[in-house]
Amino acid sequence: MKKVDRANIVSDYLDKIYPEVPIPLKHKSTYELLIAVLLSAQCTDERVNKITPLLFKIAKNPFDMSKVPVNKIYKIIRPCGLAPKKSNAISQLSKILVKKYDGKVPKSFEDLESLPGVGHKTASVVMSQGFGYPAFPVDTHIHRLAQRWGLTNGKNVIQTEADLKKLFPENSWNKLHLQIIFYGREYCQARSCYGIECKICTSCYPKRHKPITVKKP
């Protein structure tokens, strides 16, 4: 089976079980989305969604957040992990947004990735979910699934992102990356499927009987 055939299996099946996909991180503005995505690094969306209402209650825009002491931000976001680094990033990027961008979240990868604590994956999520710009955010989970499904041989998320963008039409990227995330959580988890149990894995590789070893990014 060719890689493009496996890609068609993936997209067809995901469209069938996830015709509509909500954005996992709750937010009311692009700024809130940016902060939520930043907090989600090495933290579950469920936990982030419990913490952000507490944080946004004291400051829901960069103007207000830039005035909040870092230690106060730290105490609120501590359950999300990496709190010292994240609290500093939230404070500093808020000040930069006020000073350089009139309090608005910039609409380019370059400007977003220049902000403290914002890497390419975070910028991709904001561009796709916040601004509707075609992007394919790839985290370690999508990287793992793409390998199990034979869509990439990528040794890192950068190569995996490039491979997925070549396989799937641009107008599907924003929805597809969310579909993959939801599917992975529900059916193809890191410590359960191993590439030999879920519907997509068995459809892409019907003769596979041994667990697949995934190249970690």
| CATH 1.10.1670.10 in the chain, residue ranges | 3-21+136-204
Its CATH architecture, for the domain 3-21+136-204, is: Orthogonal Bundle (1.10)
pLDDT, tens digit only, all 217 positions of the chain: 899 999 999 999 999 999 999 999 999 999 999 999 999 998 999 999 999 999 999 999 999 999 999 999 999 999 998 999 999 999 999 999 999 999 999 999 999 999 999 999 999 999 999 999 999 999 988 999 999 999 999 889 999 999 999 999 999 999 999 999 999 999 999 888 999 999 999 999 999 989 888 777 6
Burial class (CB in 10 A: 0-12, 13-18, 19+), 19: exposed
Instruction: Quote the pLDDT of residue 190.
Output: 86
Q: Which amino acid appears at position 70 of this protein? A: V
Residues catalogued as catalytic: 121, 139
What is the pLDDT at residue 155?
Answer: 84
Class of domain 30-130: mainly alpha
Helix axes of 140-148 and 157-167: crossing angle, nearest 10 degrees: 60
Where do you find CATH 1.10.340.30 in the chain? 30-130
